[in-house]
Structure 1
Amino acid sequence: MTRYSRVIGTGGYLPEEVRTNEQISQTVDTSDSWIFERTGIKSRRIAGAEETASSMAEIAARQAIEAAACDPEEIDLIIVATGTPDRVYPSTGCLLQRRLGIKNCVAFDVQAACSGSIFALSIADQYIKSGAAKKVLVVGSEICSRVVDWTDRGTCILFGDGAGAVLLGASDEAGILSTHIHSDGEYEDLLYCPNPQAATEANKDEAGYINMRGNEVFKVAVNTLGRIVDETLAANNMLQSDVDWLVPHQANTRIIAATAKKLKMSMDHVILTLENQGNTSSASVLLALNEGVRDGRIQRGQVVLLEAFGAGFTWGSALIKY
């Protein structure tokens, strides 16, 4: 009997503080119209002073667990995707495990930048398919606002904070149809965030803020995501018309529109959260999935394509029969 992993619950959390384009334009040389035209972003959420990746992850995770009507003790594995962990170690996964009060499970982090949740889903899928786990909690949680230089117009306009979660369960019915993950470290200097505490003499003066060469990243992202669509459809012997919903990483509306065009898909069938959330890195895909599920657009039995692209470069997709 074929064993599948299936989405049985989703959750999400956004901090209370809203930071608008207008507010940002008061401190850097930009405007609401300039930001929106180039990115599709109007506002983003900013974590409170006491919030952490694990505290936000807990809220999103509890929503997913509740939606699945699951006892937390049934969870065999917790995978947290984050580039902004509470601590270098222990992992944010272990901190989340403690917050949820789960004793008998494994917990660890995945760091694949904005593709983190896709990588985590791929790992979770393998665990369930192999029989090594029956229920896996996957969470993407990011506090990007703390690694953004708010005087850098090129990056401060893009990022926001939040957490998304999905609970996967073993099933005889098809759920995750396939996952595809890739990386290429050749592009490391186009998008990176230094770790000042691990600096060498050569880069000891670098602050721990996101550095990005936006135009170059954009070009590679559009081409790469086009290829991942082809790869995913071919692996499942599907046509573009077989996909009901696109749930993309929320980085830029122009990148998202290019991927939708590749699928010959109307933007009405794309889950967009970018306008009021910004780029929440590894949290964005799961936040968008949760929104689509909870507002009723994504229905059971529909085919959903999740995709993301991030620093590394990393990129990946997950094709799901929800």
Structure 2
Amino acid sequence: MPNTVIIGSGSYIPENVIEGSHFKDSIFYDDNNQLIEKPTEEIIEKFVDITEIKRRRYLNPEDFNSDLGHRASLEAIADAGIDKEEIDYIIYATNFGEVDTDGVPNFMPSLSAKLNGKLGIKRRDCVNYDMIFGCPGWVEGLILADTLIKAGKAKTVLVVGGETLSRVTDAFDRNKMIFADGAGAVVVRATDDTTVGVIADKTLCDNGEEICFLENAPSLNLEADQSKLYIRMRGRKIYEYALKNVPDAIKATIEKANLDISDISKILIHQANAKMDYAMIGRLFKLYGQKEYDHAISPMTIQELGNSSVATVPTLFDLIKKGKLEGQQFTPGSHIIFTSVGAGMNINCVVYKFPEGKI
């Protein structure tokens, strides 16, 4: 049974840099629909202290999710050195699909179908598939690609994560400062070397009371239009859930790969909140009896790029792979982890081993 290796990667980071000052004229309401009386500058400052998000990126008004995914995919295909006609499946992870400038999500046709068309692939048996799985969507897309390859259904798969969250945020919700836009993509291919590539994975879905931790909801300002829906995040609930469940899921996946935490060189974790990420990785190391850990094992981009949902992990991977993240690199033959938690609530984790030689 073949394994799955990444042979190319790409990302698209929008050019519009949004500083904290962008929100200085905002009026914020809390989760109880009450006006927050604190000065906006104080709210922004506290937000940065907690999340470490100083800047984020927004797409251009004329762009759409599929445009971002298209640019990332072209880069990944070129990096892989393949003909686009070799692609058997396109898996596109998203939460809101093709959102227009009025914030209306659109899934018809699917994003993967739109991307297929923009790439100009002529093969009719190149299958397009949208992965709607919350922020863990790209990691789950990688898991699905590995499943398809192991089942003999595909040899080459394009896995994309793209989101335009700036178009689905409530103007009166301070959490809007978390969200950003972007896209990341990888090309994966079957290999007969079963010692490399995706060597273990795990997915957990808690869809009981957790279902409302991240959802669509009307504006927090009851005097605003209540017919439109926006992304709503119950931060404290998500923090508690993630801290309790994600470290255990990562450890279980490492054990499934018959490895120890000492065998892992990098942990690429979805970044929604720096404080939460530090806490999750710290808890993971405590499960192995280690009170401290080298923060270099878990590279961060959230400070400059914000939370672009499904795009955070593949973008992070691409930046490190291409030497664009200072002080970070992958080592041939090393093990890394892809992991995420998000709407559902869903958690997933992949242990990936690089082949020896060129990455």
TM-score of the pair, normalised by structure 2? 0.84
Equivalent residue for 2:237, pick from 190, 198, 216: 216
* Structure 1 residues 36 and 232, CA gap change in structure 2 (3 angstroms): same
Alignment match, 2:188: 168
Equivalent residue for 1:287, pick from 302, 315, 319: 315
Structure 2 segments unaligned to the other structure (5+ residues): 28-39, 99-105, 220-224, 355-359
Alignment match, 1:199: none
Alignment match, 1:192: 215
Alignment match, 2:228: 207
Equivalent residue for 1:135, pick from 139, 156, 178: 156
Q: CA deviation at 1:259?
A: 2.9
1:165-215 Cα deviation digits (max 9, x unpaired): 01101112220111211212111112102599xxxxxxx945220112111
1:191 and 1:311 in contact (8 A); partners too: yes
Structure of greater Rg: 2
Q: CA deviation at 1:234?
A: 1.4
* Structure 1 residues 172 and 77, CA gap change in structure 2 (3 angstroms): same
Report the count of equivalent residues: 313
Identity, % of aligned pairs? 31
Matches of 1:293 and 1:195, distance apart in 2? 40
Counterpart mapping for 1:113-262 below 5 A:
113-153=134-174, 155-173=175-193, 174-186=196-208, 187-194=210-217, 205-261=226-282, 262=284
Matches of 1:301 and 1:103, distance apart in 2? 36
* Structure 1 residues 33 and 279, CA gap change in structure 2 (3 angstroms): same
Counterpart mapping for 1:86-105 below 5 A:
86=98, 87-104=106-123, 105=126
Matches of 2:350 and 2:236, distance apart in 1? 26
1:54 maps to amino acid: S
Alignment match, 2:15: 16
Q: Quick check: 1:313 aligned with 2:345?
A: yes
Question: Does 66-75 or 172-181 show the bigger shift?
Answer: 172-181
Q: CA deviation at 1:33?
A: 3.0
Secondary structure of residue in 1 paired with 2:17? strand
* Structure 1 residues 150 and 118, CA gap change in structure 2 (3 angstroms): same
TM-score of the pair, normalised by structure 1? 0.93
- More helix as a share of residues: 1
Matches of 1:30 and 1:290, distance apart in 2? 34
Q: CA RMSD in A?
A: 1.7
1:118 and 1:181 in contact (8 A); partners too: no
Question: Does 291-300 or 228-237 show the bigger shift?
Answer: 291-300
Secondary structure of residue in 1 paired with 2:135? helix
Q: CA deviation at 1:257?
A: 1.2
1:47 and 1:143 in contact (8 A); partners too: yes
Structure 1 segments unaligned to the other structure (5+ residues): 197-203
Equivalent residue for 1:59, pick from 71, 80, 102: 71
Matches of 1:15 and 1:76, distance apart in 2? 28
1:104-153 Cα deviation digits (max 9, x unpaired): 20001011110101111110000111111000000000000011112211
2:242 and 2:280 in contact (8 A); partners too: no
